[in-house]
Amino acid sequence: MNIQNLVRANIKSLKPYSSARDEFKEFTSDLVFLDANENPFENGVNRYPDPQQIDLKTELSKLKEVPVNQILLGNGSDEVLDLIFRAFCEPKEDNIITLPPTYGMYKVLANINNVEEREVLLTDNFEPSTKAILEVANEQSKLLFLCSPNNPTGNSFSTEIVETLLKSFKGLVVIDEAYIDFSSTKSWLTRLNEFPNLIITQTLSKAYGMAGIRLGICYASSEIIAILNKIKPPYNINGLTQKKGLKRILNKNKVELEITKILEQREKLIDKLKTISFINKIYPSDANFVLVIVDDALKRYNQLLEKGVVIRNRTTQPLCENTLRLTIGTKAENKKLIQALKEL
């Protein structure tokens, strides 16, 4: 597979912006920096941040066992996904494939970038339908989005199915692993170098508890990362985010402890949900949320809202009629949810 053949012509010929901080990186105290029109008075953030986020990526590289040149950071995974569209999808010509019910941003990003979105529903047990996907794909199908564990269904896709798709789809396969830290299945990161067309995205927004700093991660071959690096805004990860993200990654034990607590709460919540009469089905979850089928999703959603509990109504999604998605909160929050459900 030749990745360069998938890149848009204008991106291939693009000469990227070279920032002052790109041209001169070493911050040592005996140098006088008069190159970037910054305010010289120190306040902690008066200098432009590192455009390549080397400190942060070096730690991530150790943690995830992926070389630094196979990592790209974005202002949330949403920016990473947008960069992938802009690098590989020619508006009005190319198309991408999504597998509803799934994360809504793939479709929105396709629409923003004026790229056709082709939808292939998941099967009844929420797995990708390999045959249908390959039938819908053509020469212009540049991206296939696999969200695993999937939002909102909560399941991870079968390893065999994903492997088949990685081997037979002619474009890039983006595996969105936003919920991987809650999952009992392994990340595809360990197999990154087996598949030249594999892109994996992760985020600090969920298990790492940092939705507010906006930090998304993209892992791929060094060739794909170099293409994305060329088009990313020079200072896309601000200095405060780099500092805060680094600190959190170094505090691995705390993150793991929180994940353990959330998983414990997930099992407890599922047990309690089984006692609620109007909950007809609880789907197994490999993430920090649970999808349930109720008698009347809109009615129950509104009733919970009246009791001060905000959940997500997924009933309009295909294969998700009368479903509600419940995020796992703290012990006290989950108790409130169960109490409210019991009162209905």
**Nearest CB to ligand PLP, comparing residues 287 and 340:** 287
* Tokens 């994305």 belong to residue: 228
In angstroms, what is the minimal distance from the CB of 206 to ligand PLP? 6
Is residue 290 a contact point for ligand PLP (CB under 6 A)? no
Q: What whole-number distance in Å separates Cα of residue 154 and Cα of residue 148?
A: 8
Q: Residue 50's beta-bridge partner residues?
A: none
In angstroms, what is the minimal distance from the CB of 75 to ligand PLP? 8
**Nearest CB to ligand PLP, comparing residues 95 and 201:** 201
In angstroms, what is the minimal distance from the CB of 291 to ligand PLP? 13
Is residue 126 a contact point for ligand PLP (CB under 6 A)? no
Q: What whole-number distance in Å separates Cα of residue 277 and Cα of residue 279?
A: 6
Rg (CA), the chain: 22
Chain centroid to Cα 238, Å, comes to 19
Q: What whole-number distance in Å separates Cα of residue 151 and Cα of residue 160?
A: 20
Closest by CA position to 20, among listed 3, 38, 8:
38
In angstroms, what is the minimal distance from the CB of 99 to ligand PLP? 12
Tokens of 224: 């794909």
Question: In this chain, which of 165, 178, 192, 282 binds ligand PLP, going by CB under 6 A?
Answer: 178
In angstroms, what is the minimal distance from the CB of 147 to ligand PLP? 5
For the chain, how many residues are written?
344
**Nearest CB to ligand PLP, comparing residues 49 and 76:** 76
Interface of this chain with ligand PLP, residues 74 to 113, rule: CB under 6 A: 76-78, 103
**Nearest CB to ligand PLP, comparing residues 66 and 147:** 147
Q: Residue 174's beta-bridge partner residues?
A: 145, 199
Binding stretches for ligand PLP (CB under 6 A): 76-78, 103, 147, 151, 176, 178, 203, 205-206, 211, 216
